Amino acid sequence: MKTKILNKLSEIERDKNIDILFAVESGSRAWGFASPDSDYDIRFVYKHKKDWYLNLWEKDDTIEFMTEDDLDGSGWDIRKALRLLAKSNASFTGWLFSPIVYRANDDFLN
C-alpha cells in the first residue's frame, strides 16, 4: 500500500504543480487502532512555485482527495500549515509526531 500512496502523492504533485514537503499517516493506522476496513488518512504539507505566492488574491490553500481504494488525503499549503502551527493547532501537531512518515523534506523539518 505504501507504493500506492507514494504514487498518488507523485500524481498530485504533477497535476497541481506543487512540491510535497511532508506526508504522513494520521488517524487510526498511525496510532495502532486500525480495523480491517480502516482507510488510509494521508496528510501532507506542500508548496507552490514562487509565482503562486506573488498573486494579489487569496487562492485555495487545501488539497483533498479520496480514492476508491481507501486513500483519504488532505494537504495544506506551507503558509497555512505554519500559521496553524503558530496557533498550536492540534491536528498539525499530530501530523508532526506521526510514527508513519511517507515523505519528509529535511529542509522543511529543520
SS3 77: strand
Q: Fold for 2-109, please state it.
A: Beta Polymerase; domain 2 (3.30.460)
Q: How far is CA 43 from CA 12, 56, 61, 93, in A?
A: 13, 28, 14, 12
CA distance 54 to 43: 25
pLDDT tens digit string along 38-78?
Answer: 899 999 999 999 999 998 998 999 999 999 989 999 999 99
Q: What is the pLDDT of residue 108?
A: 86
pTM of the model: 0.92
